[in-house]
Structure 1
Amino acid sequence: MDVRLAAQGLAIGYPGRRIGAGIDLELAPGGILCLLGPNGCGKTTLFRTLLGLIPAQGGEVLLGGRPLAAARRAEIARAIAYVPQAHAPPFPYRALDIVLMGRTARLPALSQPGARDREIALRALDRLGIGDLAQADYSRLSGGQRQLVLIARALAQETPLMVMDEPTASLDFGNQARVLAEIAGLAGGAGGEPLGVVLSTHDPDQAFALGAEVVLMKEGRILARGRPEAVLTGEALSTVYGVPVSVERTEGGRLVCLPALGRRPPGQAASPEVMDIA
């Protein structure tokens, strides 16, 4: 079954306010797509458009080769799971209850989660190392713990595609490493069929760690896309983030990005053209 997610000539934004245009992307199971760019460049708006939460202002989003706008919400929910940046629950749900909400798309209308759904939810919590929080009040968890619960909810949804908006933003170093390993495992088919994952991050080192295809954004446009070692150069990162950045190789052979503190960035201007880098 074709479950590819694609954007073709996509324009994004809100009524009376266009944020970006000319966006072309494609994600299939087994792939990892990493979006990088400064705050306000349109990453979250792009995600909301890819999920059908807001309409495209131009171009189109395709799911399985069909226009996303023609798909029912239940169809989209069975194909794409979403991990938002943050979540404030209106009631003091248990962490397990939050994860069980991910099973909604798999249940008939007006039905309640059963024993199998509970088993899947508990397995998702255990997979992220937070099984002991199943009965905890979600609203009283730390920001990092809540983020892990939201990722568990997405896992419990059992979709072939996953959209993750800055999934490691609230996590400590250890949990960041755990989530990155989980993302790599999902794309590689660990424990089941390979998933396609698109995530945004402010840490270019994560793209190197994942070996993901990179999409570098600025002001609502794609400046470059391709393999991280080709796209994430010091020059490109300095242009996008407005601070001088160097990309260096460690003794172990890993590429890392380092800001040159106290220095001005080079004065080059970003090209509006998209660069496809093999």
Structure 2
Amino acid sequence: MRFEVRNGSFGYKNRKILNDISFSIEDGEILSVLGSNGVGKTTLLKCMMGLLHWEKGGTYIDDVELSQIKQKEVWQKIAYVPQAKGSTFGFSVLDMVMFGRSAHLGTFSQPTKEDREIAEQALEDLGITYLKDKICSEMSGGELQMVLIARALTIHPNMLVLDEPESNLDFKNQLIILETIEKLAREKNISAIVNTHYPDHALKISNKALILNRDGTNFYGNAAEVINEPNMEKSFSVRVHIDNFTLDEREYNCVVPLNLL
């Protein structure tokens, strides 16, 4: 599946938030979206998924404009994974994951044995079957984030859209989430668009990057080329230094903020 935004623009009243945004992503690719707080990253996700309407431009799936595709079909191709901010619901993990099957069910349909098997397979694919009977309201943020990804996988999507999936997690859980996104792209050919505050993470897992700037401009392209010191300084008004090193035959990048500009 090819997912594409062409010349997308959006604003509220007299305030332009997104201006002439264009990008594309193919199966198995990962695109990271970066930018300072309030620049419009979450608004971009809503616009590109059709939850908000572009003022200009549009979203396309395999060259078909999003509004021309039945909503149910869209949500069978794209799965949204929100931030895991804690659950106040007393659902078990298995029940929560089974809710993901709603995109394939009729209005009054009940989950079937097959739906349960698909949910259990999603838990197994992520290595969290041991959590299936745990209550969501009693889970850590890292555990719940994995459950939300498993829920998304039950629709067998072509693409995941993740809104700051590693925020508020410790180092270990951040790595678990990042490696899970990489694994899904590599082994299941599922593409991903990831909103993130961590340029290091974007460099670690992404093929492409989109950096949104407060003046309405943006930088888009190969992640290793787009996430550079001049672009980061323009977008965040912070002087940065990007260093890299190789360990166990893999290259790593560190983006270090030095001082305000």
Same topology, TM > 0.5: yes
Write out aligned runs for 1:168-183 (5 A): 168-183=166-181
Cα shift at 1:89: 5.3
CA distance in 2, matches of 1:49, 1:220: 19
Unmatched 5+ stretches in structure 2: none
CA distance in 2, matches of 1:241, 1:264: 9
Cα shift at 1:204: 0.9
Are residues 1:22 and 2:20 paired? yes
Residue in 2 that maps onto 1:148: 146
CA distance in 2, matches of 1:58, 1:10: 6
Residue in 1 that maps onto 2:110: 112
Are residues 1:217 and 2:215 paired? no
Residue in 2 that maps onto 1:254: 252
Residue in 2 that maps onto 1:41: 39
Residue in 2 that maps onto 1:64: 62
SS at structure 1 position matched to 2:232: helix
Cα shift at 1:16: 6.2
Cα shift at 1:249: 1.8
Cα shift at 1:88: 6.1
Indicate which of 210, 218, 221 corresponds to 1:226.
Answer: 221
Deviates more, 1:106-115 or 1:176-185: 106-115
SS at structure 2 position matched to 1:69: helix
**Once superposed, what is the RMSD of the aligned Cα atoms?**
2.1
Residue in 1 that maps onto 2:7: 9
Are residues 1:81 and 2:79 paired? yes
* Contact 1:99 1:121 survives alignment (8 Å): yes
Q: Give TM-score, length-normalised by structure 1.
A: 0.85
Residue in 2 that maps onto 1:275: none
Cα shift at 1:58: 1.4
Cα shift at 1:235: 2.3
* Contact 2:100 2:152 survives alignment (8 Å): yes
* Contact 1:35 1:43 survives alignment (8 Å): yes
Residue in 2 that maps onto 1:236: 231
Q: Give TM-score, length-normalised by structure 2.
A: 0.90
Residue in 2 that maps onto 1:203: 198
* Contact 2:214 2:235 survives alignment (8 Å): no
Q: Which amino acid aligns with 1:145?
A: E
* Contact 1:21 1:220 survives alignment (8 Å): no
Cα shift at 1:222: 4.5
SS at structure 2 position matched to 1:25: strand
Decide whether aligned partners of structure 1 residues 95 and 243 sit closer, same or farther in structure 2, where only a CA change above 3 A counts: same
Cα shift at 1:15: 5.9
Cα shift at 1:82: 0.4
Cα shift at 1:80: 0.4
Give the number of equivalent residue pairs.
258
Cα shift at 1:264: 3.6
Unmatched 5+ stretches in structure 1: 266-278
CA distance in 2, matches of 1:14, 1:113: 40
Cα shift at 1:166: 0.9
**Identity percentage over the alignment?**
34
Residue in 2 that maps onto 1:245: 240
* Contact 2:78 2:158 survives alignment (8 Å): yes
Cα shift at 1:97: 1.6
